[in-house]
Structure 1
Amino acid sequence: MTKKDDRQQLYSDSYFEKGHIGLKIWQTFIAILGWFAAIIPVVITVTAFLASYNPKIPHIWSYKDGIFEIKFLGILLLFSFSMAFLFAVSMTLIQNRRRDRLIEQWPTFSPINQKKRGQALEDYMSKRFGDKEFRENTRYYEVAPDQNLDTHVISKLYDDLDINDMD
């Protein structure tokens, strides 16, 4: 893939190929015409707006309601942009905070670690309350006072697992 001919051509444009002079002239003319169609109304509107403050600036029109509408649209756009900016910044902060919280909790989402923790918890519960089939099929079971779980017993059980086995 070092040679230019060996690479696959994914696009083609006759404008940049050799020849096609008529196509190049036509497309260049249309592009320039498009830019003029976009720039001229903006220049006319900006000069008319600036001429409302300084009459020395040459302008094509000076309709009072038109100037008022430009001011109104400017305020509306400023409000819209400020709301969009506020939304974007707040969502960025929320997502960064959520991502940081998720990264801190990332080890708890490891499927291998979850299986090991699940097996350790299953072994502990089977030893303490009986096998899984008994626990799931019993309608009424009264827990003896010595069978109650301490506050951090599951957390300690996870901490007691071999750290090297968790990797």
Structure 2
Amino acid sequence: MAERSGATTTAAAAAASGGSQPGTDLVAIHATGVTNLEGLENAKIDEELSVADNANLQSLTGLNPNNHVLRALWVTGNRRLSDLTGLEMLEAATSYIYILDNDRLVSLSGLDNLTSVPSLLIRQNPRLTNIAALGSLETVVQELSIIASDLPGPGHRRSNRARHAHRRGDR
């Protein structure tokens, strides 16, 4: 029962059709037509926020400004999302943050107040060019991984020169 206002579908409508209620452990917005997270301004997220596979999502704005600490955050497969604006309230995660497969993500703006997370994985965001928003990050206990989709994984030692030659077809 997602409500539409013009071409905009809100996260509150998506949540009402099977998502979470305020004060819950998990808020999941998956495979919807939402363009932003407006409507969740009063939702206190106690544990996990998962925003995945929302083809029209352009902004994470609309979240409760009192969600300073989460256990986990997933932002994955949101093809139109260009930055993480809307997550400015987040200061820490107690388990992990995964930012994966967001085709148009160019910046981590929105994570500017993040100071602590055990594990931060940022992978397969091919247009990501700016990680300056991580400037406040002080503590990463387990893993900090930033890997673009066109780069080889950890341990692969092919040089930049070899990688560029391979892309041109040179040998």
TM-score in terms of structure 2 length: 0.22
Give the structure with the higher percent helix.
1
**Structure with greater proportional strand content:** 2
Give the TM-score, by structure 1 length. 0.22
Q: Which has the higher contact order (CA 8 A, sep 6+)?
A: 2
